[in-house]
């Protein structure tokens, strides 16, 4: 469930360049006028030039998505990882705080880190990423989130499904197929989740290759904005690309690195397809929830087209079949 913040904020459409630069200067930095908008849809993220220093990243938080307490809890998690020399990008502490306000907007600043997407076909890269995740999950298991929610069947399944059905975007000829298909899909996911009571910890929550910056055989992990409570496998399965054979080839080096620092329960492998199913349903609901925003209309002009929804329903049908396949196999050495 998306949580409401405690204070109202102006719309992102009013976030003019002058407001962004003034917000950074109000935190004690001298800007040089350079401003580059970075790819982000939930929040607004900018690279801001600083006089006589490296640029910094300014992140302005979406109104109504996270409360102040939830944002600070994410920051605390990231800072705890950084304190143990994990290659994460934490927010800057300015005036004893990481979350700030300017002109009604909430924001944080962080160092800029560069890099490319990791080489997904390199087993050594999977070993390195696995080691990082093992260390990250050791930090995640040390405490519990108090304010951030967990990955649940309701928040990632039934609620986004309802948003699609209530949005009016779904073409009439697909409405019944989508409803009955997601009925079956989520019922099967529920059964699987109940049969495998995996331990839950603090996790990154959105650990896909786009959030890993690869440079000189080193990684920097960014964007803990979706950090929440969930099973360890949620941070692992998105690095298993392609068909089953390719997934198994990537799984072994990934877990070889992971288990250097932390044990892994093989039973969690049976959660990969249920979690993938929830992510697919959640994605449709996310787009339905944001479809009236100008930034989304520009980025996803195909979203209201019947062809996209036909493909989405087909993907969900294929996912229903995938849920009935045996889970990936791995045994520790």
Catalytic site positions:
206, 223
HSE, side-chain direction, 13 A CA sphere, residue 206 = 13
Is 245:125 a contact under the CB 8 Å cutoff? no
Residue 101: strand pairing partners: 106
88 Cβ contact partners less than 8 Å away, ≥ 6 residues apart = 78, 81, 82, 136, 220, 221, 222, 224
As given in the structure block, the two tokens for residue 39 are: 């790819």
Task: Please report, to the nearest 10 degrees, the dihedral formed by the alpha carbons of residues 255, 256, 260, 263 taken in order.
Answer: 40
Q: Which helix (H) or strand (E) covers residue 111, if one does? A: strand 105-111
Handedness of CA 312, 316, 322, 327 (dihedral sign): positive
Helices 172-195, 306-322: inter-axial angle, 10-degree rounding: 30
Distance of alpha carbon 10 from alpha carbon 13, whole angstroms:
8
Q: Is 201 helix (H, G, I), strand (E, B) or coil?
A: strand
Token pair 């009925």 is found at 183
In angstroms, the first-to-last Cα distance of the chain is 39
As given in the structure block, the two tokens for residue 299 are: 């980025």
Q: Interior CA angle at 153 toward 59 and 209, to 5°?
A: 45
239 Cβ contact partners less than 8 Å away, ≥ 6 residues apart = 120, 126, 129, 207, 208, 209, 250, 254
Would you tell me how many other CB atoms lie within 10 Å of the CB of residue 227? 22
Is 153:190 a contact under the CB 8 Å cutoff? yes
């Amino acid at each position: 469930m998306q949580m409401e913040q405690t204070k109202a904020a102006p719309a992102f459409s009013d976030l003019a360049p002058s407001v962004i630069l003034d917000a950074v200067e109000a935190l004690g930095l001298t800007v040089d006028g350079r401003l580059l908008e970075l790819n982000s849809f939930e929040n607004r993220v900018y690279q801001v030039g600083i006089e006589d220093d490296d640029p910094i990243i300014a992140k302005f938080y979406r109104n109504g998505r996270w409360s102040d307490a939830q944002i600070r809890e994410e920051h605390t998690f990231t800072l705890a990882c950084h304190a143990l020399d994990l290659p994460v990008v934490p927010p800057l502490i300015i005036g004893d705080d990481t979350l700030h306000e300017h002109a009604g907007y909430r924001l944080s600043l962080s160092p800029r880190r560069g890099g490319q997407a990791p080489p997904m076909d390199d087993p050594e890269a999977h070993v390195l990423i696995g080691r990082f995740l093992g260390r990250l999950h050791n930090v995640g298991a040390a405490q519990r989130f108090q304010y951030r929610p967990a990955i649940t069947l309701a928040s990632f399944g039934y609620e986004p499904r309802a948003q699609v059905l209530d949005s009016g975007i779904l073409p009439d000829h697909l409405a019944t197929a989508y409803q009955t298909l997601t009925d079956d899909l989520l019922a099967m996911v529920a059964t699987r989740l109940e049969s495998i009571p995996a331990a839950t910890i603090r996790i990154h929550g959105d650990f896909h290759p786009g959030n890993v910056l690869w440079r000189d055989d080193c990684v920097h992990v960014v964007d803990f904005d979706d950090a929440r409570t969930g099973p360890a496998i949620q941070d692992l399965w998105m690095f298993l690309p392609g068909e089953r054979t390719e997934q198994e080839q990537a799984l072994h080096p990934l877990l070889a690195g992971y288990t250097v620092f932390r044990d892994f329960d093989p039973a969690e492998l049976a959660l990969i397809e249920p979690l993938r199913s929830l992510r697919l349903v959640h994605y449709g609901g996310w787009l339905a929830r944001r479809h009236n925003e100008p930034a989304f209309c520009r980025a996803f002009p195909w979203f209201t087209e019947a062809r996209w929804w036909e493909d989405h329903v087909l993907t969900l049908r294929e996912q229903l079949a995938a849920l009935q396949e045996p889970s990936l196999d791995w045994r520790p050495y």
